[in-house]
Amino acid sequence: MTALPHDVTAITLFVEDLERAREFYRALFELDPMYQDADSAAFRFEHTVVNLLRGAEAHELVTPLPVAAPGLGSRCLYTIAVDDADAAAARLAELGVPVLNGPIDRPWGLRAVSFADPDGNVWELAQDLPPAAG
């Protein structure tokens, strides 16, 4: 029996305003797109690519399911590891990005801060906490 793959290589986010989304990600993560065209922009995060795709172009990727309309609520959370969640929160504040919650220590051993991108995709920047003494 063949094992299923275990590495996430790409995440595609459906966005309404590609230019706004591209600039948001460029400023927040201080990255230039590794690829971009009229309908998408892809950013490399070490082993994972985050692809921003115009929602109008997403149908062929998810058919027969519909592409959900923006603003109907969160259906997932994306987490990126950081060394310092408090510094990450300070960077969000510098950029004027509203924080949804945090920084907060989670019982499963993370200190995290979360925010939404301009299209409502929710991200968490999380650092590992040292194991509790006991």
Around 122, how many Cα atoms within 13 Å sit in the side-chain half-sphere?
13
Domain ranges of the chain: 1-67, 75-134
In angstroms, the Cα distances linking 44 to 26, 62, 131 are 11, 22, 31
Q: How many residues does the chain have?
A: 134
Same fold, 1-67 and 75-134: no
Q: What are the tens digits of pLDDT across the range 22-39?
A: 999 999 999 999 999 999
| 1-67 carries CATH number 3.40.50.300 | no
Q: What are the tens digits of pLDDT across the range 2-23?
A: 555 667 789 999 999 999 999 9
**CATH assignment of 75-134, given 3.10.180.10, 3.40.50.2300, 3.30.950.10, 3.40.50.150?**
3.10.180.10
How high is the pLDDT of residue 106? 92
How high is the pLDDT of residue 100? 94
* pLDDT higher than 60, residue 40: yes
**Average predicted confidence (pLDDT) for the chain:** 90
CA dihedral 105, 24, 70, 48 (to 10 degrees): -70
Separation between Cα atoms, residue 11 and residue 5, nearest integer Å:
15
Separation between Cα atoms, residue 99 and residue 85, nearest integer Å:
12
Compare 75 and 66 and report the one with higher pLDDT: 66
